[in-house]
Amino acid sequence: MVRSKTYIAIPPGATIKEQLVERGMTQKEFSIRLNMSEKHISQLINGEVLLTPEMAFKLEMVLGIPANFWNQLEAIYREKQIQAQQENEMEQDKSIARKFPYSEMVHLGWIVKTDKIEERVINLRKYFEVVNLTLLNNYQINKIACRRLNSTEKADYALLAWAQKAKLEARNKNVKKININLLKKKLSKIRPMTLQNPNEFYEPLNQLLSDCGIALILIPHLNGSYLHGVTFLDRNKIVIGLTSRGKDADKFWFSLYHELAHIIKGHINQIEGTTEQDELEADQFARESLISKFDFDQFISNYKINSKNITTYSSLIGIDPGILVGRLQKENYIPYNSYNHLKKKYEF
């Protein structure tokens, strides 16, 4: 028996059981008369197996009740069962749907506007390409490696929505076969791009990654996600999704290298997702790729921290000065409100 708020699905087996009680017939005797196993009869009574037209005919012979009665009873049971299951799933999905930043997704044009929670559920199911939203907890559906500042339930759902948008956008991008070795060889060409503006570096960066089987997707920030970037394998390509959270160039480049680390170090497509150690390794890779520990220590040891020295030293090591500022802030050499005028702001 399956129940929901509106529906009760009672299997035909309940009626069969009533008939046996009225006749004083045991299930064992009944199974012998039907020339079937007692186990199958038990499953039939409990609604665990389908009451087939052949079984309906046999029931007519043994119980004297027309086959079409049993066929109709089975059809009604299956219909009510589906209706009850769908209603129960809808109730579960309603609670999940309320956790998504639906209004902001509408504002960004990602999903259709509606105030009805049932319609939101349907729209979200279609958006995520699942029959019910509870499946989003399955890591086989969302194999995401990401860089973000905080993790809360609200952030988790915002992350899922953002990553799905990256996945949908990536399907429109043609990339070559995945080639991690080629990516390693081309890494040195990315760092000089930090000195350029987005209209100068975006197409070359996009092409470089595309040649390695990587689709680079830039998507607006989704409030509450605490997100900078995600990486995952989607069919025949690797997807890197980035957001210019805060619009700071140093955060963009750090996030890019962080996600590249996940690819190079084989962190993506793991059954349990990325570990804390994976994230630390990716952070270390990003720091060293942008400004090596040796170069950073040289600056700290030999230069007084001021705008002129930051600019001069950054030029010397071939990096945007805002990235050095971000490193100094992150490692507590200067407050987060210092020298921000040296940071570029990106608009994509």
pLDDT per residue over 187-216, tens digit each?
A: 999 999 999 999 999 999 999 999 999 999
Residue linked to tokens 């759902």 = 157
Weakest-pLDDT range from 3-7, 143-147, 324-328: 143-147
Residue 185: pLDDT over 90: yes
What is the pLDDT at residue 265? 92
Write phi, then psi, for 50 (nearest 5 degrees): -70, 135
Q: Which domains does the chain have, with CATH numbers?
A: 2-94 (1.10.260.40), 144-286 (no CATH), 291-348 (no CATH)
pLDDT, average across residues 252-269 = 90
Weakest-pLDDT range from 134-148, 162-176, 317-331: 134-148
pLDDT, average across residues 152-165 = 81
What is the pLDDT at residue 244? 63
The β-bridge partners of 227 are 148
| DSSP reduced 3-state for 240 | strand
pTM score, whole prediction: 0.75
Mean pLDDT of the chain: 90
pLDDT, average across residues 253-266 = 93
Q: Name the helix (H) or strand (E) containing 209.
A: helix 198-211
Question: What is each CA distance from 227 to 220, 282, 340, in whole angstroms?
Answer: 10, 15, 21
Q: CA–CA separation, 252 vs 245, rounded Å?
A: 8
Weakest-pLDDT range from 84-88, 121-125, 154-158, 290-294: 154-158
Is residue 206 within 8 Å of residue 225, measured between CB atoms?
A: no
Weakest-pLDDT range from 11-15, 20-24, 31-35, 147-151: 147-151
227 band by pLDDT with thresholds 50, 70 and 90: low
What is the pLDDT at residue 156? 80
Is residue 223 within 8 Å of residue 101, measured between CB atoms?
A: yes
What is the pLDDT at residue 219? 85
pLDDT, average across residues 56-65 = 96
pLDDT, average across residues 108-135 = 94
| 13 closest CA partner among 1, 26, 28 | 1
Question: What is each CA distance from 16 to 28, 48, 52, 277, in whole angstroms?
Answer: 13, 14, 14, 59
What is the pLDDT at residue 159? 83
State percent of the chain over pLDDT 90.
70
Going 340 to 219 to 240 to 211, the CA torsion angle's sign is negative
Q: CA–CA separation, 264 vs 282, rounded Å?
A: 10
pLDDT, average across residues 313-337 = 96
- 195 HSE (CA, 13 A, CB side): 10
Number of Cβ atoms within 10 Å of the Cβ of 342: 18
- The letter for the amino acid at 28 is K
